[in-house]
Structure 1
Amino acid sequence: MTKFALGQLGDIEIKQLKIFKAVVDCGGFSAAETELNISRPTISNHIAALESRLDMTLCKRGRAGFSLTEEGAVVYQQTNQLLEQLNQFRNTINNLGSSPAGLLKIALSDTFSTDPRCKVTEIFRQFYQQAPDVELKVEVEHMTVMEKLVLNNEVDIAIIPYHRQFEGLDYIHLFTDVNYIYCGHGHPLFNLPETEITDDIINSSKLVHAGLKPHEEVYHQLAHMNLAASSYHYESRISLLMSGFFISFLPEQVALPYVERGQLKAIATQLKSFRLGVAVISKKSAQPNRARDLFLETIRTIHADAETAPPY
């Protein structure tokens, strides 16, 4: 048997490896079409060419579904390491230039991209005035994964509702939300006078919660409540409220437009509420990155008037 030797990798192979990684991350060829914005036959051709180049079968596809071969699992693992090293190399070289360049990855939680209190538009504007060559990749992510993404260097900066503190992360406090219980127009408590709403009534009502392990203050509020449904995103939580069957905690500013339209109402405000901080997180021990440091400094400058005592 002739022993196969891979030889030198070029741009074509790097592109094929990126496509292979996307297919694996998406769980198959069809799901990767949207992610890659190329057709399934084109994806299949790239994977076939990569398998031919490597002289091995990387994945199985067919009626049984998509799965990796043993060799494919190893190639996937090594591909992740290779692409991360290439990204680190690019960022290091870009940091040697006269102005920041390279890729900066940012994650936002739920409604923060359009929340005026985050001042995201102002941050982007001021940052780009100083670093026009930086490529920004901005995504909305689930809060439960954003801390891990930052710690694993998959995201440089994230803006999240604060709910716990990690030793390996730095925090910049932006603002604090006050969260009250809300119900929809069709809910039995909507027209009930506040004086008649008791703890027992609130605790027996079906509550939509965020589905996360809450910090201590939130935990005490939820301890005796009827956790009947879970939904992390505010939009889906509000839809459940407007069905008339549920109550839920919401930040006052998120609920305000629906309150003004008469669709939602804050109830039992004297019985249950909590404060939830919003923070920017970044990794303490991350590799030097001028773009990331400038973005963080821009945030500090624009939010210089943020309260100095966050509720953490």
Structure 2
Amino acid sequence: MSLKNYSLGQVGDFEIKQLRIFKSVVDNGGFSAAETELNISRSTISIHISNLESRLNLRLCRRGRGGFALTPEGTAIYEMTSRLLDSLEEFRNQVNEMSQNPAGELRIAVSDGTSLDPRSRFPEMIARFCSRAPEILLQTEVATLADIERMVLNDEADVGLMPYHRQLDGLNYIHLYSDVCRLYCSRNNPLLALEESELTDEVINCFTAVEPGVKPNEEATQQLSGMSLKGRAYFYETRLAMILSGKFIAFLPEAYAEPWVGSGQLKSLGGPERYYRLGIAAVTKKSCQPNKATSLFLDIIEDVHSPHSG
């Protein structure tokens, strides 16, 4: 592509979105690795990059059997993009900081089961935040782990509350509490007709099981290894429904399953060793300075979950 007789013209929101995608591809070392962070397909990423190249009238990268590599022009655009996005974030934060009272909005993305888990103390955090920043528009939504990561990284959410199987370099994590996830079946499951001595790992692993729909941590991977994974459900509610059908077994957080165990509708399998731990954290973007609203909410999280908090 040539710069001859070409003028870029005005840069709008759509070009900034494409530049964000381009930066993510470079940061992740290629299209495939960027799929998880962006939560869009490789073909869609390719279309965005091609359109950006056409818009800029520049060849930004080479992709093919030899792998992903930036052109000299691509390297320059990447560096300018990083400065541009940092400047936009700084502008947004400084405008918010100019107000004596926090204004604007706070966007929180929460994983299912987290907001009403008593250990999260989410309603208490909301109450404290609204008392101290009544002018803030508080926006909350439920999303999957991968979507929460993407939303925070792409500045679509300010804070995420979620279980974490991994820790991404671009995110800060404030550990809140840990879940113990155990293996469960329903009371109408044929496994319950067996004696405890017959419920060996080999027998349990032959029964159809549900995988969590997200790449698990090493501890969870070991527990799922060898199981007959013929179902998939990320959300706890749908995973529970599959267990209650009597056709599947699956792991659930102990605290989430407790009411169903108490009513006799669920039973844990495999003894005390059949479990894995799952951390729950508040996540924010590492590369930017939090605005007033986000900083206030993080202070509240730290206070509510401090060892000395009641």
* TM-score, length of structure 2 as denominator length: 0.70
The match for 2:124 is 122
Distance in 2, Cα, partners of 1:96 & 1:224: 57
C-alpha contact 1:181 1:269 (8 A) present in aligned 2: no
1:135 counterpart (115, 125, 137): 137
The match for 2:206 is 204
The count of corresponding residues between Structure 1 and Structure 2 is 239
1:193, distance to aligned residue in structure 2 (A): 3.4
C-alpha contact 2:145 2:164 (8 A) present in aligned 1: no
Kindly provide the CA deviation profile for residues 48-75 of structure 1, in whole angstroms up to 9, marking residues without a partner as x: xxxxxxxxxxxxxxxxxxxxxx9xx88x
Distance in 1, Cα, partners of 2:116 & 2:295: 23
1:269, distance to aligned residue in structure 2 (A): 2.4
Q: Given the superposition, is the C-alpha separation of residues 285 and 306 from structure 1 closer, same or farther in structure 2, using an over 3 Å criterion?
A: farther
The match for 1:31 is none
C-alpha contact 1:180 1:273 (8 A) present in aligned 2: yes
Distance in 1, Cα, partners of 2:290 & 2:176: 24
Distance in 2, Cα, partners of 1:88 & 1:134: 19
Distance in 1, Cα, partners of 2:204 & 2:173: 34
Q: What letter corresponds to residue 231 of structure 1 in structure 2?
A: A
Distance in 2, Cα, partners of 1:98 & 1:215: 43
The match for 2:261 is 259
2:169 counterpart (167, 170, 173): 167
Identity rate of aligned residues, in percent?
43
1:231, distance to aligned residue in structure 2 (A): 0.4
Q: Given the superposition, is the C-alpha separation of residues 88 and 186 from structure 1 closer, same or farther in structure 2, using an over 3 Å criterion?
A: farther
1:216, distance to aligned residue in structure 2 (A): 0.8
Kindly provide the CA deviation profile for residues 91-148 of structure 1, in whole angstroms up to 9, marking residues without a partner as x: 5322111121111111000111111110001001111111111111101001112112
Distance in 2, Cα, partners of 1:88 & 1:110: 32
Q: What letter corresponds to residue 296 of structure 1 in structure 2?
A: L
State the secondary structure of the residue aligned to 2:258. Answer: helix
The match for 1:247 is 249
Q: What letter corresponds to residue 146 of structure 2 in structure 1?
A: T
Kindly provide the CA deviation profile for residues 223-260 of structure 1, in whole angstroms up to 9, marking residues without a partner as x: 11111100000110111111111100000011111111
State the secondary structure of the residue aligned to 2:94. Answer: helix
State the secondary structure of the residue aligned to 2:148. Answer: helix
State the secondary structure of the residue aligned to 1:228. Answer: strand
State the secondary structure of the residue aligned to 1:201. Answer: helix
C-alpha contact 1:102 1:134 (8 A) present in aligned 2: yes
Q: What letter corresponds to residue 256 of structure 1 in structure 2?
A: E
After superposition, where does 1:143-292 map in structure 2 within 5 Å?
Answer: 143-292=145-294
Q: What letter corresponds to residue 142 of structure 1 in structure 2?
A: T
State the secondary structure of the residue aligned to 1:217. Answer: helix
Q: What letter corresponds to residue 219 of structure 1 in structure 2?
A: T
After superposition, where does 1:38-187 map in structure 2 within 5 Å?
Answer: 89=91, 91-187=93-189
C-alpha contact 1:161 1:277 (8 A) present in aligned 2: yes
1:90, distance to aligned residue in structure 2 (A): 5.2
After superposition, where does 1:288-307 map in structure 2 within 5 Å?
Answer: 288-305=290-307
Distance in 2, Cα, partners of 1:182 & 1:191: 15
State the secondary structure of the residue aligned to 1:190. Answer: helix
Distance in 1, Cα, partners of 2:187 & 2:181: 19
C-alpha contact 1:194 1:267 (8 A) present in aligned 2: no
State the secondary structure of the residue aligned to 1:300. Answer: helix
C-alpha contact 2:89 2:288 (8 A) present in aligned 1: no
Q: What letter corresponds to residue 217 of structure 1 in structure 2?
A: E
Q: Given the superposition, is the C-alpha separation of residues 118 and 265 from structure 1 closer, same or farther in structure 2, using an over 3 Å criterion?
A: same
Kindly provide the CA deviation profile for residues 143-175 of structure 1, in whole angstroms up to 9, marking residues without a partner as x: 112112111111110011110011121111111
The runs of 5 or more residues in structure 1 that have no matched partner are: 1-7, 9-13, 22-69, 78-83, 308-312
Q: What letter corresponds to residue 247 of structure 2 in structure 1?
A: F
Distance in 1, Cα, partners of 2:239 & 2:290: 39
Distance in 1, Cα, partners of 2:307 & 2:195: 38
The match for 1:67 is none
The runs of 5 or more residues in structure 2 that have no matched partner are: 1-9, 18-47, 56-85
RMSD: 3.0
